Structure 1
Amino acid sequence: MGRLVPAVTRALDVLELFLESEGPLSAPDVIRRLQLPRTTVHELLTTLAARAYLDPLPGQPGRYRLGVRTYQLGSRYAEQLDLAAEGQRVAREVAETCDETVHVAVLEDTDVIYIAKVDSTHAVRMVSAAGRRLPAHCTSVGKMLLASLPEDELARRFADDGSTAMSAETTLTLTAMTPDSITDPAVLRAELARTRERGVAVEHRESNPDVSCVAAPVRDSAGRVVAALSISVPMIRWSDGREEELARLAVEGADALSVRLGHRGRR
Protein backbone atom coordinates (compact mmCIF):
# COMPACT_ATOMS: atom_id res chain seq x y z
CA MET A 1 0.00 0.00 0.00
CA GLY A 2 1.35 3.43 -0.97
CA ARG A 3 1.96 6.32 1.37
CA LEU A 4 -1.01 8.49 2.29
CA VAL A 5 -0.73 12.13 1.20
CA PRO A 6 -1.23 14.32 4.32
CA ALA A 7 -2.72 17.28 2.42
CA VAL A 8 -5.32 15.08 0.71
CA THR A 9 -6.15 13.36 3.99
CA ARG A 10 -6.74 16.72 5.67
CA ALA A 11 -8.94 17.92 2.81
CA LEU A 12 -11.06 14.78 3.07
CA ASP A 13 -11.24 15.21 6.86
CA VAL A 14 -12.70 18.68 6.26
CA LEU A 15 -15.33 17.35 3.85
CA GLU A 16 -16.28 14.51 6.19
CA LEU A 17 -17.01 16.98 8.98
CA PHE A 18 -20.12 17.92 7.00
CA LEU A 19 -21.41 14.35 7.34
CA GLU A 20 -21.70 14.94 11.08
CA SER A 21 -22.88 18.56 10.94
CA GLU A 22 -26.50 19.67 10.65
CA GLY A 23 -25.56 22.92 8.92
CA PRO A 24 -22.74 25.11 7.60
CA LEU A 25 -19.32 25.15 9.22
CA SER A 26 -16.92 28.03 9.80
CA ALA A 27 -13.12 28.06 9.75
CA PRO A 28 -13.02 28.18 13.59
CA ASP A 29 -15.33 25.12 13.66
CA VAL A 30 -12.91 23.19 11.47
CA ILE A 31 -9.87 24.34 13.45
CA ARG A 32 -11.48 23.26 16.72
CA ARG A 33 -12.70 19.87 15.51
CA LEU A 34 -9.63 18.82 13.54
CA GLN A 35 -7.02 20.52 15.72
CA LEU A 36 -5.22 21.92 12.66
CA PRO A 37 -3.29 25.19 12.35
CA ARG A 38 -5.36 28.22 11.36
CA THR A 39 -3.35 28.87 8.19
CA THR A 40 -3.69 25.25 7.05
CA VAL A 41 -7.46 25.28 7.52
CA HIS A 42 -7.91 28.51 5.58
CA GLU A 43 -5.82 27.14 2.73
CA LEU A 44 -7.85 23.92 2.67
CA LEU A 45 -11.17 25.77 2.71
CA THR A 46 -10.05 28.16 -0.03
CA THR A 47 -8.89 25.29 -2.24
CA LEU A 48 -12.06 23.22 -1.73
CA ALA A 49 -14.23 26.25 -2.44
CA ALA A 50 -12.25 27.04 -5.60
CA ARG A 51 -12.96 23.50 -6.85
CA ALA A 52 -16.69 23.74 -5.90
CA TYR A 53 -16.47 21.06 -3.19
CA LEU A 54 -17.43 23.77 -0.70
CA ASP A 55 -19.69 26.75 -1.22
CA PRO A 56 -19.14 30.01 0.76
CA LEU A 57 -22.41 31.22 2.28
CA PRO A 58 -23.54 34.58 0.85
CA GLY A 59 -23.46 37.31 3.47
CA GLN A 60 -21.73 35.03 6.00
CA PRO A 61 -17.98 35.42 5.52
CA GLY A 62 -15.94 32.42 6.57
CA ARG A 63 -18.88 29.99 6.65
CA TYR A 64 -19.23 27.10 4.18
CA ARG A 65 -21.68 24.46 3.07
CA LEU A 66 -21.09 21.49 0.75
CA GLY A 67 -20.70 22.53 -2.87
CA VAL A 68 -22.24 21.21 -6.07
CA ARG A 69 -19.23 19.02 -6.84
CA THR A 70 -19.98 16.77 -3.87
CA TYR A 71 -23.55 16.35 -5.15
CA GLN A 72 -22.27 15.42 -8.60
CA LEU A 73 -19.94 12.80 -7.16
CA GLY A 74 -22.69 11.40 -4.94
CA SER A 75 -25.10 11.19 -7.86
CA ARG A 76 -22.54 9.37 -9.97
CA TYR A 77 -21.92 6.92 -7.12
CA ALA A 78 -25.67 6.30 -6.77
CA GLU A 79 -26.00 5.65 -10.50
CA GLN A 80 -23.53 2.80 -10.37
CA LEU A 81 -24.97 1.12 -7.26
CA ASP A 82 -26.28 -2.40 -7.61
CA LEU A 83 -28.22 -3.57 -4.54
CA ALA A 84 -27.64 -7.24 -5.31
CA ALA A 85 -23.90 -6.78 -5.84
CA GLU A 86 -23.49 -4.59 -2.75
CA GLY A 87 -25.64 -6.99 -0.76
CA GLN A 88 -23.51 -9.95 -1.82
CA ARG A 89 -20.36 -8.11 -0.78
CA VAL A 90 -21.69 -7.23 2.68
CA ALA A 91 -23.28 -10.67 3.14
CA ARG A 92 -19.85 -12.23 2.53
CA GLU A 93 -18.30 -10.00 5.19
CA VAL A 94 -20.99 -10.90 7.73
CA ALA A 95 -20.73 -14.62 6.92
CA GLU A 96 -16.96 -14.51 7.42
CA THR A 97 -17.58 -13.08 10.89
CA CYS A 98 -20.24 -15.51 12.13
CA ASP A 99 -19.76 -18.50 9.76
CA GLU A 100 -23.50 -18.83 9.26
CA THR A 101 -25.67 -18.41 6.16
CA VAL A 102 -26.45 -14.78 5.33
CA HIS A 103 -29.20 -13.54 3.01
CA VAL A 104 -30.29 -10.18 1.61
CA ALA A 105 -33.89 -9.99 0.41
CA VAL A 106 -36.39 -7.50 -0.99
CA LEU A 107 -40.18 -7.38 -0.71
CA GLU A 108 -42.48 -8.00 -3.65
CA ASP A 109 -46.17 -7.78 -2.76
CA THR A 110 -46.47 -10.28 0.15
CA ASP A 111 -43.41 -12.35 -0.77
CA VAL A 112 -39.69 -11.89 -0.30
CA ILE A 113 -37.13 -12.53 -3.03
CA TYR A 114 -33.58 -13.37 -1.99
CA ILE A 115 -31.14 -11.30 -4.04
CA ALA A 116 -27.89 -12.30 -2.30
CA LYS A 117 -26.72 -15.29 -0.31
CA VAL A 118 -23.47 -16.50 1.24
CA ASP A 119 -23.33 -20.00 2.75
CA SER A 120 -21.89 -21.12 6.04
CA THR A 121 -18.87 -23.40 5.86
CA HIS A 122 -20.41 -25.76 8.43
CA ALA A 123 -21.43 -29.23 7.26
CA VAL A 124 -24.93 -28.56 8.62
CA ARG A 125 -26.26 -25.41 7.00
CA MET A 126 -29.40 -23.92 5.45
CA VAL A 127 -30.19 -25.00 1.90
CA SER A 128 -31.46 -22.04 -0.11
CA ALA A 129 -30.60 -19.97 -3.17
CA ALA A 130 -30.57 -16.40 -4.44
CA GLY A 131 -33.67 -15.79 -6.52
CA ARG A 132 -35.89 -17.94 -4.30
CA ARG A 133 -39.32 -16.51 -3.37
CA LEU A 134 -41.02 -17.20 -0.02
CA PRO A 135 -44.09 -15.86 1.81
CA ALA A 136 -42.87 -12.80 3.69
CA HIS A 137 -44.74 -13.58 6.92
CA CYS A 138 -42.84 -16.87 7.28
CA THR A 139 -39.36 -15.33 7.24
CA SER A 140 -37.36 -12.93 9.39
CA VAL A 141 -36.44 -10.78 6.38
CA GLY A 142 -40.11 -10.69 5.39
CA LYS A 143 -41.28 -9.71 8.86
CA MET A 144 -38.70 -6.91 8.90
CA LEU A 145 -39.84 -5.63 5.51
CA LEU A 146 -43.55 -5.92 6.33
CA ALA A 147 -43.00 -4.11 9.63
CA SER A 148 -41.51 -1.18 7.71
CA LEU A 149 -44.69 -0.63 5.69
CA PRO A 150 -47.35 1.94 6.66
CA GLU A 151 -50.47 0.33 8.11
CA ASP A 152 -52.65 1.15 5.09
CA GLU A 153 -50.09 -0.32 2.69
CA LEU A 154 -49.77 -3.44 4.81
CA ALA A 155 -53.55 -3.88 4.81
CA ARG A 156 -53.75 -3.35 1.04
CA ARG A 157 -51.14 -6.01 0.32
CA PHE A 158 -52.98 -8.59 2.40
CA ALA A 159 -56.47 -7.72 1.12
CA ASP A 160 -58.41 -10.80 0.03
CA ASP A 161 -61.61 -10.64 -2.01
CA GLY A 162 -62.43 -7.18 -0.72
CA SER A 163 -61.76 -7.97 2.95
CA THR A 164 -58.69 -6.72 4.75
CA ALA A 165 -56.52 -9.59 5.96
CA MET A 166 -54.77 -7.44 8.54
CA SER A 167 -57.99 -6.25 10.19
CA ALA A 168 -59.10 -7.67 13.52
CA GLU A 169 -62.34 -9.04 12.00
CA THR A 170 -60.85 -11.15 9.22
CA THR A 171 -61.08 -14.95 9.17
CA LEU A 172 -58.45 -15.29 6.45
CA THR A 173 -55.72 -17.88 7.12
CA LEU A 174 -52.17 -17.12 5.95
CA THR A 175 -50.11 -19.71 4.11
CA ALA A 176 -48.08 -22.04 6.34
CA MET A 177 -44.66 -23.47 5.44
CA THR A 178 -44.15 -25.38 8.71
CA PRO A 179 -46.28 -26.17 11.78
CA ASP A 180 -44.70 -23.10 13.44
CA SER A 181 -45.61 -20.63 10.66
CA ILE A 182 -47.88 -17.73 11.61
CA THR A 183 -51.26 -18.23 9.95
CA ASP A 184 -53.43 -15.84 11.98
CA PRO A 185 -53.32 -12.20 10.74
CA ALA A 186 -53.87 -10.94 14.30
CA VAL A 187 -50.80 -12.86 15.49
CA LEU A 188 -48.82 -11.47 12.55
CA ARG A 189 -49.90 -7.92 13.43
CA ALA A 190 -48.65 -8.40 16.98
CA GLU A 191 -45.38 -9.89 15.72
CA LEU A 192 -44.81 -6.96 13.36
CA ALA A 193 -45.44 -4.54 16.23
CA ARG A 194 -42.76 -6.33 18.29
CA THR A 195 -40.42 -6.22 15.30
CA ARG A 196 -40.83 -2.44 14.98
CA GLU A 197 -40.16 -2.03 18.68
CA ARG A 198 -37.04 -4.21 18.70
CA GLY A 199 -35.66 -3.04 15.35
CA VAL A 200 -34.89 -6.64 14.41
CA ALA A 201 -37.07 -9.55 13.29
CA VAL A 202 -36.77 -13.13 14.52
CA GLU A 203 -38.13 -16.33 13.00
CA HIS A 204 -38.09 -19.71 14.72
CA ARG A 205 -38.69 -22.71 12.41
CA GLU A 206 -41.38 -20.82 10.49
CA SER A 207 -40.00 -21.32 6.96
CA ASN A 208 -37.80 -24.33 7.67
CA PRO A 209 -38.43 -26.71 10.60
CA ASP A 210 -34.71 -26.95 11.33
CA VAL A 211 -33.68 -23.29 11.09
CA SER A 212 -34.05 -20.01 13.01
CA CYS A 213 -33.17 -16.58 11.61
CA VAL A 214 -32.71 -12.97 12.68
CA ALA A 215 -32.94 -9.97 10.33
CA ALA A 216 -32.35 -6.20 10.31
CA PRO A 217 -33.49 -3.46 7.88
CA VAL A 218 -31.40 -1.99 5.05
CA ARG A 219 -32.09 1.66 4.16
CA ASP A 220 -31.33 3.75 1.10
CA SER A 221 -30.06 7.33 0.91
CA ALA A 222 -33.57 8.65 1.63
CA GLY A 223 -33.93 6.50 4.75
CA ARG A 224 -36.44 4.10 3.17
CA VAL A 225 -36.25 0.41 4.04
CA VAL A 226 -35.41 -1.23 0.70
CA ALA A 227 -34.14 -4.64 1.82
CA ALA A 228 -33.36 -6.75 4.87
CA LEU A 229 -30.28 -8.75 5.84
CA SER A 230 -30.67 -11.99 7.77
CA ILE A 231 -28.50 -14.61 9.41
CA SER A 232 -29.88 -18.17 9.36
CA VAL A 233 -28.77 -20.85 11.81
CA PRO A 234 -29.66 -24.54 12.18
CA MET A 235 -31.43 -25.22 15.46
CA ILE A 236 -28.51 -27.35 16.69
CA ARG A 237 -26.41 -24.15 16.86
CA TRP A 238 -29.18 -21.82 18.10
CA SER A 239 -29.53 -20.50 21.65
CA ASP A 240 -30.70 -17.33 23.38
CA GLY A 241 -27.12 -16.14 23.64
CA ARG A 242 -26.45 -16.92 20.00
CA GLU A 243 -29.61 -15.07 18.99
CA GLU A 244 -28.44 -11.93 20.79
CA GLU A 245 -24.99 -12.13 19.18
CA LEU A 246 -26.40 -12.70 15.67
CA ALA A 247 -28.94 -9.90 16.08
CA ARG A 248 -26.06 -7.52 16.74
CA LEU A 249 -24.15 -8.81 13.70
CA ALA A 250 -27.26 -8.56 11.50
CA VAL A 251 -27.77 -4.94 12.57
CA GLU A 252 -24.11 -4.12 11.90
CA GLY A 253 -24.27 -5.80 8.49
CA ALA A 254 -27.53 -4.10 7.52
CA ASP A 255 -26.13 -0.75 8.62
CA ALA A 256 -22.95 -1.36 6.59
CA LEU A 257 -25.04 -2.12 3.50
CA SER A 258 -27.19 0.95 4.18
CA VAL A 259 -24.07 3.10 4.25
CA ARG A 260 -23.00 1.65 0.89
CA LEU A 261 -26.42 2.68 -0.44
CA GLY A 262 -25.88 6.26 0.75
CA HIS A 263 -27.75 6.19 4.06
CA ARG A 264 -26.23 8.54 6.65
CA GLY A 265 -28.17 7.52 9.76
CA ARG A 266 -27.02 5.08 12.44
CA ARG A 267 -28.96 2.66 14.58
Structure 2
Amino acid sequence: MGRLVPAVTRALDILELFLEGDGTLSAPEITRKLALPRTTVHELVTTLAARNYLVTLPDQPGRYRLGVRPYQLGSRYAEQLDLAAEGQQVARTVAETCDETVHVAILEGTDVIYIAKVDSTHAVRMVSAAGRRLPAHCTSVGKMLLASLSAPALDARLPEDRPLPAMTPHSITSPHELRRQLAAIRERGVAVERRESNPDVTCVAAPVRDSASQVVAALSISVPMIRWNEERQAELEELVAKGARQLSERLGHRGREL
Protein backbone atom coordinates (compact mmCIF):
# COMPACT_ATOMS: atom_id res chain seq x y z
CA MET A 1 0.00 0.00 0.00
CA GLY A 2 1.37 3.41 -0.97
CA ARG A 3 1.75 6.47 1.21
CA LEU A 4 -1.39 8.50 1.91
CA VAL A 5 -1.19 12.11 0.71
CA PRO A 6 -2.02 14.42 3.67
CA ALA A 7 -3.57 17.19 1.56
CA VAL A 8 -5.89 14.76 -0.23
CA THR A 9 -6.85 13.13 3.07
CA ARG A 10 -7.72 16.51 4.56
CA ALA A 11 -9.77 17.50 1.52
CA LEU A 12 -11.75 14.26 1.77
CA ASP A 13 -12.20 14.79 5.51
CA ILE A 14 -13.75 18.17 4.71
CA LEU A 15 -16.13 16.70 2.12
CA GLU A 16 -17.24 13.95 4.50
CA LEU A 17 -18.19 16.53 7.13
CA PHE A 18 -21.03 17.58 4.83
CA LEU A 19 -22.68 14.17 5.27
CA GLU A 20 -23.61 15.21 8.82
CA GLY A 21 -26.12 17.70 10.18
CA ASP A 22 -27.97 19.95 7.73
CA GLY A 23 -25.23 19.64 5.11
CA THR A 24 -23.91 23.20 5.45
CA LEU A 25 -20.73 24.43 7.15
CA SER A 26 -18.61 27.54 7.46
CA ALA A 27 -14.81 27.58 7.26
CA PRO A 28 -14.47 28.27 11.02
CA GLU A 29 -16.72 25.28 11.76
CA ILE A 30 -14.60 23.04 9.54
CA THR A 31 -11.46 24.34 11.25
CA ARG A 32 -12.89 23.52 14.67
CA LYS A 33 -14.25 20.08 13.74
CA LEU A 34 -11.05 18.88 12.10
CA ALA A 35 -8.58 20.78 14.30
CA LEU A 36 -6.72 22.03 11.23
CA PRO A 37 -4.90 25.36 10.74
CA ARG A 38 -7.20 28.11 9.51
CA THR A 39 -5.04 28.83 6.46
CA THR A 40 -5.04 25.15 5.48
CA VAL A 41 -8.83 25.00 5.64
CA HIS A 42 -9.14 28.21 3.65
CA GLU A 43 -6.88 26.88 0.89
CA LEU A 44 -8.63 23.50 0.74
CA VAL A 45 -12.13 24.97 0.75
CA THR A 46 -11.15 27.48 -1.96
CA THR A 47 -9.77 24.65 -4.10
CA LEU A 48 -12.84 22.45 -3.58
CA ALA A 49 -15.13 25.33 -4.45
CA ALA A 50 -13.13 26.12 -7.60
CA ARG A 51 -13.63 22.50 -8.73
CA ASN A 52 -17.38 22.57 -7.89
CA TYR A 53 -17.08 20.11 -5.01
CA LEU A 54 -18.37 22.88 -2.73
CA VAL A 55 -20.55 25.93 -3.38
CA THR A 56 -21.48 28.87 -1.18
CA LEU A 57 -25.06 29.41 -0.07
CA PRO A 58 -26.63 32.27 -2.08
CA ASP A 59 -27.90 34.10 1.01
CA GLN A 60 -24.94 33.16 3.25
CA PRO A 61 -21.63 33.64 1.38
CA GLY A 62 -19.64 32.37 4.36
CA ARG A 63 -21.35 28.96 4.41
CA TYR A 64 -20.82 26.06 2.05
CA ARG A 65 -22.71 22.99 0.87
CA LEU A 66 -21.77 20.18 -1.49
CA GLY A 67 -21.60 21.17 -5.16
CA VAL A 68 -22.57 19.31 -8.29
CA ARG A 69 -19.33 17.32 -8.69
CA PRO A 70 -19.95 14.88 -5.78
CA TYR A 71 -23.44 14.27 -7.19
CA GLN A 72 -22.00 13.48 -10.61
CA LEU A 73 -19.48 11.07 -9.12
CA GLY A 74 -22.19 9.42 -7.01
CA SER A 75 -24.46 9.05 -10.02
CA ARG A 76 -21.70 7.37 -12.01
CA TYR A 77 -21.02 5.03 -9.09
CA ALA A 78 -24.74 4.16 -8.86
CA GLU A 79 -24.84 3.39 -12.59
CA GLN A 80 -22.11 0.82 -12.12
CA LEU A 81 -23.64 -0.91 -9.10
CA ASP A 82 -24.63 -4.54 -9.49
CA LEU A 83 -26.87 -5.70 -6.62
CA ALA A 84 -26.04 -9.37 -7.17
CA ALA A 85 -22.28 -8.74 -7.26
CA GLU A 86 -22.35 -6.43 -4.24
CA GLY A 87 -24.59 -8.88 -2.42
CA GLN A 88 -22.25 -11.77 -3.13
CA GLN A 89 -19.31 -9.89 -1.64
CA VAL A 90 -21.17 -8.94 1.55
CA ALA A 91 -22.67 -12.43 1.84
CA ARG A 92 -19.16 -13.87 1.71
CA THR A 93 -18.03 -11.62 4.55
CA VAL A 94 -21.05 -12.54 6.69
CA ALA A 95 -20.60 -16.26 5.95
CA GLU A 96 -16.94 -16.09 6.96
CA THR A 97 -18.00 -14.61 10.29
CA CYS A 98 -20.71 -17.12 11.22
CA ASP A 99 -19.87 -20.12 9.00
CA GLU A 100 -23.51 -20.54 8.00
CA THR A 101 -25.23 -20.23 4.63
CA VAL A 102 -25.98 -16.64 3.62
CA HIS A 103 -28.44 -15.51 0.92
CA VAL A 104 -29.45 -12.23 -0.71
CA ALA A 105 -32.89 -12.21 -2.32
CA ILE A 106 -35.30 -9.87 -4.10
CA LEU A 107 -39.09 -9.87 -4.28
CA GLU A 108 -40.89 -10.68 -7.52
CA GLY A 109 -44.65 -10.89 -7.25
CA THR A 110 -45.42 -13.29 -4.39
CA ASP A 111 -42.05 -15.05 -4.62
CA VAL A 112 -38.48 -14.35 -3.65
CA ILE A 113 -35.59 -14.98 -6.02
CA TYR A 114 -32.16 -15.65 -4.55
CA ILE A 115 -29.56 -13.56 -6.36
CA ALA A 116 -26.51 -14.37 -4.22
CA LYS A 117 -25.47 -17.26 -1.99
CA VAL A 118 -22.42 -18.30 0.02
CA ASP A 119 -22.36 -21.77 1.59
CA SER A 120 -21.39 -22.82 5.08
CA THR A 121 -18.36 -25.10 5.40
CA HIS A 122 -20.25 -27.41 7.77
CA ALA A 123 -21.12 -30.93 6.62
CA VAL A 124 -24.77 -30.20 7.50
CA ARG A 125 -25.88 -27.15 5.53
CA MET A 126 -28.74 -25.77 3.50
CA VAL A 127 -29.08 -27.04 -0.06
CA SER A 128 -30.10 -24.11 -2.27
CA ALA A 129 -28.85 -22.08 -5.22
CA ALA A 130 -28.80 -18.55 -6.61
CA GLY A 131 -31.69 -18.19 -9.01
CA ARG A 132 -34.04 -20.38 -6.97
CA ARG A 133 -37.58 -19.08 -6.45
CA LEU A 134 -39.65 -19.69 -3.30
CA PRO A 135 -42.98 -18.38 -1.92
CA ALA A 136 -42.12 -15.19 -0.08
CA HIS A 137 -44.33 -15.86 2.95
CA CYS A 138 -42.41 -19.10 3.70
CA THR A 139 -38.98 -17.46 3.98
CA SER A 140 -37.32 -14.93 6.27
CA VAL A 141 -36.12 -12.84 3.30
CA GLY A 142 -39.62 -12.94 1.85
CA LYS A 143 -41.27 -11.87 5.09
CA MET A 144 -38.77 -9.02 5.39
CA LEU A 145 -39.55 -7.87 1.86
CA LEU A 146 -43.32 -8.25 2.30
CA ALA A 147 -43.10 -6.24 5.53
CA SER A 148 -41.61 -3.36 3.54
CA LEU A 149 -44.66 -3.09 1.26
CA SER A 150 -47.52 -0.69 1.80
CA ALA A 151 -50.87 -2.21 2.86
CA PRO A 152 -52.41 -1.77 -0.62
CA ALA A 153 -49.36 -3.32 -2.30
CA LEU A 154 -49.45 -6.28 0.09
CA ASP A 155 -53.20 -6.80 -0.44
CA ALA A 156 -52.70 -6.77 -4.21
CA ARG A 157 -50.12 -9.56 -3.98
CA LEU A 158 -51.63 -11.61 -1.17
CA PRO A 159 -55.40 -10.97 -0.75
CA GLU A 160 -56.69 -11.53 2.78
CA ASP A 161 -59.43 -13.93 1.59
CA ARG A 162 -57.04 -16.37 -0.11
CA PRO A 163 -55.23 -19.11 1.89
CA LEU A 164 -51.47 -19.25 1.43
CA PRO A 165 -49.71 -22.35 0.05
CA ALA A 166 -47.60 -24.36 2.49
CA MET A 167 -44.10 -25.79 1.96
CA THR A 168 -43.88 -27.58 5.32
CA PRO A 169 -46.28 -28.25 8.22
CA HIS A 170 -44.83 -25.13 9.85
CA SER A 171 -45.61 -22.74 6.95
CA ILE A 172 -48.05 -19.90 7.52
CA THR A 173 -51.25 -20.42 5.54
CA SER A 174 -53.42 -17.73 7.15
CA PRO A 175 -53.19 -14.25 5.58
CA HIS A 176 -54.29 -12.77 8.92
CA GLU A 177 -51.46 -14.51 10.78
CA LEU A 178 -48.98 -13.43 8.10
CA ARG A 179 -50.00 -9.78 8.49
CA ARG A 180 -49.66 -10.08 12.27
CA GLN A 181 -46.11 -11.35 11.83
CA LEU A 182 -45.27 -8.70 9.25
CA ALA A 183 -46.32 -5.96 11.69
CA ALA A 184 -43.94 -7.41 14.30
CA ILE A 185 -41.15 -7.65 11.71
CA ARG A 186 -41.57 -3.98 10.78
CA GLU A 187 -41.28 -3.13 14.47
CA ARG A 188 -38.17 -5.26 15.10
CA GLY A 189 -36.40 -4.75 11.78
CA VAL A 190 -35.46 -8.45 11.62
CA ALA A 191 -37.45 -11.41 10.29
CA VAL A 192 -37.26 -14.99 11.56
CA GLU A 193 -38.53 -18.08 9.75
CA ARG A 194 -38.64 -21.35 11.69
CA ARG A 195 -38.80 -24.48 9.52
CA GLU A 196 -41.36 -22.91 7.19
CA SER A 197 -39.58 -23.52 3.88
CA ASN A 198 -37.43 -26.42 5.01
CA PRO A 199 -38.39 -28.60 8.01
CA ASP A 200 -34.76 -28.77 9.14
CA VAL A 201 -33.72 -25.12 8.75
CA THR A 202 -34.34 -21.80 10.49
CA CYS A 203 -33.42 -18.41 9.00
CA VAL A 204 -33.06 -14.77 10.05
CA ALA A 205 -33.15 -11.82 7.64
CA ALA A 206 -32.75 -8.04 7.54
CA PRO A 207 -33.66 -5.41 4.90
CA VAL A 208 -31.29 -3.97 2.31
CA ARG A 209 -31.96 -0.38 1.20
CA ASP A 210 -30.77 1.66 -1.74
CA SER A 211 -29.72 5.31 -1.97
CA ALA A 212 -33.39 6.37 -1.95
CA SER A 213 -33.99 4.41 1.30
CA GLN A 214 -36.20 1.91 -0.52
CA VAL A 215 -36.00 -1.75 0.50
CA VAL A 216 -34.65 -3.49 -2.61
CA ALA A 217 -33.49 -6.82 -1.18
CA ALA A 218 -33.03 -8.80 2.01
CA LEU A 219 -30.03 -10.64 3.41
CA SER A 220 -30.48 -13.84 5.41
CA ILE A 221 -28.53 -16.41 7.41
CA SER A 222 -29.80 -20.01 7.30
CA VAL A 223 -29.03 -22.45 10.10
CA PRO A 224 -29.85 -26.18 10.47
CA MET A 225 -31.98 -26.84 13.56
CA ILE A 226 -29.18 -28.89 15.11
CA ARG A 227 -27.15 -25.66 15.45
CA TRP A 228 -30.05 -23.40 16.47
CA ASN A 229 -30.83 -22.06 19.95
CA GLU A 230 -31.90 -18.77 21.50
CA GLU A 231 -28.34 -17.60 22.11
CA ARG A 232 -27.40 -18.37 18.50
CA GLN A 233 -30.51 -16.57 17.27
CA ALA A 234 -29.53 -13.38 19.09
CA GLU A 235 -26.00 -13.52 17.65
CA LEU A 236 -27.24 -14.09 14.11
CA GLU A 237 -29.92 -11.39 14.29
CA GLU A 238 -27.20 -8.89 15.19
CA LEU A 239 -24.91 -10.18 12.46
CA VAL A 240 -27.57 -10.24 9.72
CA ALA A 241 -28.58 -6.66 10.57
CA LYS A 242 -24.93 -5.59 10.37
CA GLY A 243 -24.50 -7.36 7.02
CA ALA A 244 -27.64 -5.75 5.62
CA ARG A 245 -26.35 -2.34 6.71
CA GLN A 246 -23.05 -2.98 4.97
CA LEU A 247 -24.77 -3.95 1.74
CA SER A 248 -27.10 -0.96 2.00
CA GLU A 249 -24.11 1.34 2.41
CA ARG A 250 -22.54 -0.16 -0.71
CA LEU A 251 -25.76 0.72 -2.53
CA GLY A 252 -25.54 4.32 -1.35
CA HIS A 253 -27.89 4.23 1.65
CA ARG A 254 -27.05 6.70 4.41
CA GLY A 255 -30.01 6.43 6.78
CA ARG A 256 -30.50 4.58 10.07
CA GLU A 257 -33.80 2.78 9.41
CA LEU A 258 -32.30 -0.70 9.31
Rounded Cα–Cα distance in structure 1 between residues aligned with 2:245 and 2:237: 12
Identity over aligned pairs, percent:
77
Instruction: Indicate the residue corresponding to 1:205 in structure 2.
Output: 195
2:247 match: 257
Mapped to 2, the partners of 1:209 and 1:34 lie a distance apart of 55
- Supply the AA of the counterpart residue of 1:181: S
Matched, 1:19 2:19: yes
Q: After TM superposition, list the pairs within 5 Å mapping 1:18-167 onto structure 2.
A: 18-158=18-158, 165-166=159-160
Cα distance in 2 between the residues matched to 1:255 and 1:80: 20
Conserved in 1, the CA contact under 8 Å of 2:112 and 2:134?
yes
Q: Paired residue for 2:205?
A: 215
Aligned length: 257
Q: CA deviation at 1:47?
A: 0.6
Task: State the shift of 1:59 in Å.
Answer: 3.4
Aligned Cα RMSD in Å? 0.8
Structure 1 segments of 4+ aligned residues over 4 angstroms from their partners:
none
Deviation at 1:29, TM superposition (A): 1.3
Corresponding residue number in structure 2 for 1:162: none
Match of 1:179 in 2: 169
Counterpart-to-counterpart distance in 1, 2:189 and 2:232: 17
Deviation at 1:13, TM superposition (A): 0.4
How far, CA to CA, are the matches of 1:215 and 1:86 in structure 2? Answer: 17
Offset of 1:61 from its aligned partner? 2.3
Q: Distance in 2 between matches of 1:101 and 1:193?
A: 26
Give the secondary-structure state (helix, strand or coil) at the position aligned to 2:115.
strand
Q: Does 1:232 align with 2:244?
A: no
1:19 Cα offset (Å): 1.1
> In the alignment, what sits opposite 1:194?
184
CA distance in structure 2 between the aligned counterparts of 1:175 and 1:153, rounded to whole angstroms: 19
> Quick one: distance in 2 between partners of 1:187 and 1:75?
41
TM-score when normalising by structure 1: 0.95
**Which structure 1 residue ranges, 5 or more long, are not aligned?**
159-164
Which stretch shows the higher mean deviation, 23-32 or 189-198? 23-32
Q: What amino acid does structure 2 have at the position aligned with 1:177?
A: M
Structure 2 CA distance for aligned equivalents of residues 44 and 101 of structure 1: 47
**TM-superposed deviation, 1:72:** 0.5
